Amino acid sequence: MSDGKSYFFVGIGGSGMMPLAMILAGRGASVAGSDRTLDRGALPAKFADLAAKGVTLFPQDGSGVTSAAQIVVASAAVEASVADIVAAERVGAARMSRAELLASLFNQSVLPIGVAGTSGKSTVTGMIGWILHACGRDPTVMNGAVMKNFASADAPFASALVGGGAAFVSEVDESDGSIALYHPKIAVLNNVSLDHKSLEELRALFGAFAGKAETTVLNIADGETAALAATLDAATLVTFAVEQNADLSARDLRPEPFAIGFDLVAEGVKHPVRLSVPGQHNVSNALAALAAARAAGIPLGEAIGAIEGFTGLKRRFELVGEAHGVSVIDDFGHNPDKISATLATLHAFPGRLLVLFQPHGYGPLKVMRHELTAMFRGALGPDDVLVLPDPVYQGGTVAREVTSADIVAEIGTQAHHIADRAEAAAWIAAQARSGDRIVVMGARDDTLSQLAADMLPQIAPKIA
C-alpha cells in the first residue's frame, strides 16, 4: 500500500496494532506511532523491531501528530483525552479505527480469508498462513500473535507476513462488533461462546459474517455454530468436526505432551496427520485451516504436508522452560473455552497444575463471571491450585463491578486472590515441586511472558 499516505498509530505496540503497522510499512506506506509501554521503557525489543522496519516512534504526548495529512489510527480502547487524539483534533488529522483500516485492506484483496470465533482465531490464522506460504502462494497474514514459523533473529515479532499473492488471511474480531466491516470470500467460524458480548449479539454478528462468504468453513461440533450452519446456504458450507461426521472429520486422536496425531477423514479417504502442537482443540483448529486452504485451491495432500510443519504461536501452550522437574508454560487462555482446552490438554498427562490466571479486564470479567467460575470448578483437578491477581488495567476509567476476589470466592478453596501479580507468581513458584506444571494465563498483556520466564529461577528443589 504505497499510496503516499502517512499513518500514525496510537498504541502501536498492541497485539492488533503492531502487525497492521508492519503490513503498511512493508507495503511502502509512511508509518509512525506511540505507545504507553514504550514510554514506560518496557518491552524494548518489540519497539526496536518496529524501528528496524522503518517505523518512527514518538512519546505518547502528541508530539508525533503534527499534520492534517496524517491518518491517526487508534483502537476503540483509546480515550479522547489521550494526547495524540487531542493533537489529531487540533491539527485536523483524519481518524480511523484499527478495525476500519484493517477491513479496508482485507476487503481490497483478491482473496480475503477471514477467521472468526470466540477461540482459536490466531492459531487457525497462523495455520492457514503457513499452509499457503509453504505451498508457494505468498500470502499476506495479519495475526494477533507471533507466528513461530515466520519468526527469526531478524523478525522476532512476526505477527504479520507481507506477501505479494492473492490471499489476505486475517483474524477478525467480534468483541467490538467490527466483524461487520469484513467481506470475506472464505469465512472460517471456529465456535461461538461468551467472551465480550452476549450470545444473542454474537449469533447476529457471526451469522452476518458467515453469510457474506462464497465458502464458509464451520465447526459443527460446536452447538452454537452447528445451529448457525442450519440457517445458511448449504451449497456454500464446508463442515468440520472432531470425532463426528463432517466434510472433514478427525478420528482416532493420539495425544502427546507437546504434539498430537489423528486420522483425517475426507470424502471417505483416511489421511494420517501429526501436528507439532498439542491438544484436541488444535486438532479442531487444524481441520478449520485445512478446509480453508482447500477452499483456496490447495490440494488436501499438500495442505496436510504443510500443516505438519506448523510450529505454533508464541503464548499458545508455549513451554518456557523447566527447573527442578517443574515445567513452566505460557498460554493466552483468557475465556472459559480457551482455559478449559488448555487444562484438558495438560490433564491428559500426570502432574499437578499450578495456574496463574490474570483476567484481561474488568469488563470481560463481569461478562464471563458465572461461566468462568463454573469452568474452573469443573476443570481443576483435585490437587490443582489457582491464583488470580487483579485484572489487567492500562489506564482510563473503568467500572470495577466484578473483581478477581469475587471470582476466587465463588470457586472455592483451590483458588487464591493475590492482588499483586509479581507476588502471585512468587507464591506459586514457592509451592512448586517436581512433577508440577505451572501455567501462566491471560491476554492483553505481553509482559506475562516475561513473568513466566522470571518464575523459573524462583523454583527451588523440593522433595515431593
What is the share, in percent, of the chain residues with pLDDT greater than 90? 77
Pairing of strands 248-256, 259-266: antiparallel
Q: What is the pLDDT of residue 89?
A: 96
In 10 A of CB 268, how many CB atoms? Answer: 5
Q: Tell me the per-residue pLDDT of 251-267, one tens digit each, with 9 for 90 and over.
A: 999 999 889 999 999 99
**Mean per-residue pLDDT over the chain, rounded:** 92
Better-predicted residue by pLDDT, 112 or 203 = 112
CB 7 within 8 A of CB 29: yes
Average pLDDT over residues 205-231: 93
Residue linked to cell 479486564: 361
Please tell me the chain's helix, strand, coil percentages from 3-state DSSP, rounded to the nearest 5.
35, 25, 40
Provide the pLDDT confidence category of residue 49 given band limits of 50, 70 and 90: very high
Length of the chain counted residue by residue = 464
On the question of pLDDT at 383 being above 90, the answer is yes
Q: What's the rounded mean pLDDT across residues 16-35?
A: 95
Per-residue confidence (pLDDT) for residue 194, from 0 to 100: 59
Which residue from 221, 453, 217, 205 is spatially nearest to 337, judged by alpha carbons? Answer: 221
Band of residue 2 on the pLDDT scale cut at 50, 70, 90: very low
Is 312 within 8 Å of 289 (Cβ atoms)? no
pLDDT for 232 beyond 60 = yes
Per-residue pLDDT band at 394 (split at 50, 70, 90): low
The three cell numbers of residue 193 are 461462546
| Phi, psi for residue 215 in degrees, rounded to 5 | -135, 130
pLDDT at position 227 is 92
pTM for the full predicted model = 0.85
pLDDT of residue 100: 95
Decide if pLDDT at 14 tops 60. yes
Whether the predicted pLDDT of 374 surpasses 80: yes
For residues 25-35, average pLDDT? 95
3-class DSSP assignment, residue 364: helix
Cα 301 to Cα 294: distance, rounded to the nearest angstrom? 10
Confidence of residue 5 (pLDDT cuts 50, 70, 90): confident
Say if residue 331's pLDDT is above 70. yes
Q: Residue 114 and residue 124: Cα distance in Å, rounded? A: 10
Residue 3: the pLDDT is 60
Q: Work out the pLDDT band at 133, boundaries 50, 70, 90.
A: very high
Task: Specify the range with the lowest mean pLDDT, choosing from 278-292, 337-351, 391-405, 435-449.
Answer: 391-405
Read off the amino acid at residue 261: G
Cα separation of 292 and 131, whole Å? 10
pLDDT-derived band at 1, boundaries 50, 70, 90: very low
